[in-house]
Amino acid sequence: MATTTSTQQQADVRFTQRELDGARILCECLIAEGVQIIFGYPGGVLLPLYHVFSEYPEIRHILVRHEQAAAHAADGYARATNKVGVCMGTSGPGATNLVTGIATAMMDSAPVVALTGQVTRSLIGRDAFQETDITGITLPITKHNWLVMDTADLATTIKKAFHIAGTGRPGPVLVDIPKDVFTSKTYFSGYPAEVKMRGYNPTVFGHARQIKQAAKLINEAQRPVLLVGHGVTTSEAYNELMELAERAEIPVISTLQGLSSFPTAHPLSLGMPGMHGNLHANHAINESDVLIAMGMRFDDRVTGNLKSFARNCKIIHIDIDPAEIGKNVPVHIPIVGDVKKVLQVLNLHVNAAKHTEWLEKITHWRGKDAARRENEMARLGVLPPQFIIKTLGEVLGGEAVITTDVGQHQMYVAQHFNFRKANSLISSGGLGTMGFGLPSAMGAKMALGENVPVWTVTGDGGFQMNMQELATCVQEKINVKIAILNNGVLGMIRQWQQVFYDGRYHSTPITGPDFVKLAEAFGVRAWRVTHRDEVARTIQEANDWDGPALIDFIIPQGENVFPMVPPGGSNLDAITEA
């Protein structure tokens, strides 16, 4: 009873308008935003904040081993939930170590608020110890950033930061706070209920006349194709996408970031297009008469040579960011708005339809592609990476969330994992950030809890960039599973050297530690797998293990990812073997 009374008294005091220092005001604001987890690393100018953290048990601080991992973990948390993730670093190197993670979040439209400490106001501009102009550095890789110079501005600034990060096209926002702003006191009258910002009013509903024009074009189409990206996930438009695809019988092609927005095994799913995409997906885009692109930005990895991309069709582009429409590809009907809200209206005007002849043509292309894959799988050695990914999907049965690093293994996941669960792939697509896999899995696991398995698939190169986070997993009891596809080389770069640089393999062989011993040294359960007969059993054992676990899969060194479109080439010119 005494404890309850004490807690109530603390709560009463917490929300009483009163004089507070900046550190406590920041904590009050974060709690008001619903922040429960911060991924961060302390430092000198942040000590006033860490000094008061114990007064706010609602906020759990996850002590990472490198600030880059803090940013990736906040990114993974955000993508898994569509809530704003929060990371934190001190001034100088702590802040700059966040930069790669902030840029990654920017390229993939992930809502992240990065908090950085700054030297005291009187020292700014004097090359003080651990001073950097982090707002200047991050200006081109954030939606917005602030240097807070008055404690009285702190609450309003935090409100604006969360509002911008999580609305419109999601993205990272940085708030830089000098040490003496943390320690100065001001009258705190409560967290603002709302905030208004001149010039920031994202358009979410789409133009009614343009939506009707799009519906008319879709109703008249003979060979329509849906091309879906991450915007479907950020707007959670899964049901609306399914309704449109099935009602109008339109095949669905997913960019890398859109892969888990539509079930892989659905008869209308054609998988991924582009550089390492399915041949039948690229053919379908090329021969479509109407391409409905939504929540995607026509990345060069998707389009290949722009002169040959979708040249026979009319394009409808739905995106919440007007800057993306027409940027890379001319568009016939632009619709600026949130994908979910636009589809809710569009579906009212699209007629039920059958496109039997079109789907039969695609089935023919798909059959040829499937035969190529079967031949590829049959000739592979004792432990092909494609087999590992396919088996991983079968064992996990569609319940897991997968994060990846960047490289060949990322493309094997895109090509061979059976995505059944909406929003179950988290990968660095735009920036292509190695080292993203493990920390993003940590963030996703913290967000999703014990009932959702979270695996990261990584290469031996990418894993070595942030493998120190094994310690974070153990200390913070983050139950992630790690699958390393270990071939002893930087596989994708080696593949490019083989195909496009006359096989001159320079600086691509990479040694690594004994990953099993390394994991065990950190206190992580680990296995090594060298034969395909061991794959399913070991995955199941790791998945069932109560704690972080790692599997070191030893795969062939010279295996390549095919198909592969030469850089600058047409998607129809994909090569299928070296």
Catalytic residue list: 67, 129-130, 179, 492
E strands, 44-84, where? 60-63
- Tokens 């006359």 correspond to 502
User: Cα separation of 72 and 87, whole Å?
Assistant: 9
Q: Kindly give the pairing relationship between strand 18-21 and strand 185-188.
A: antiparallel
- Residue among 214, 217, 213, 289 at smallest CA distance from 251: 289
User: Cα separation of 292 and 284, whole Å?
Assistant: 12
Hey, what long-range contacts does 261-268 have (CB within 8 A, 24 or more apart)? 261/228, 261/232, 261/233, 261/237, 261/422, 261/423, 262/228, 262/232, 262/238, 263/419, 263/420, 264/417, 264/418, 264/419, 264/420, 265/418, 265/420
List CB contacts of 502: < 8 A, sequence separation 6 or more. none
φ, ψ for residue 337, nearest 5 deg: 170, 170
Q: For residue 538, give the H/E element and its range.
A: helix 535-544
Alpha-carbon torsion, ordered 410, 416, 422, 424, to 10 deg: -40
List CB contacts of 363: < 8 A, sequence separation 6 or more. none
- Tokens 């991050």 correspond to 138
**3-state class (DSSP) for residue 357:** helix
CA atoms within 13 A on the CB side of 507: 0
CA distances for 332 relative to 213, 215, 479, angstroms? 10, 13, 48
User: Cα separation of 23 and 30, whole Å?
Assistant: 11
**3-state class (DSSP) for residue 534:** helix
Burial 78-112 (b: 16+ CB within 10 A, else e): bbbbbbbbbbbbbbbebbbbbbbbbbbbbbbbbbb
Q: For residue 115, what are its two tokens?
A: 């908090």
Burial 186-205 (b: 16+ CB within 10 A, else e): bebeebbeebeeeeeeeebe
Whether the CB-CB separation of 184 and 217 falls below 8 Å is answered with no
User: Cα separation of 142 and 87, whole Å?
Assistant: 14
How many C-beta neighbours within 10 Å does residue 209 have? 8
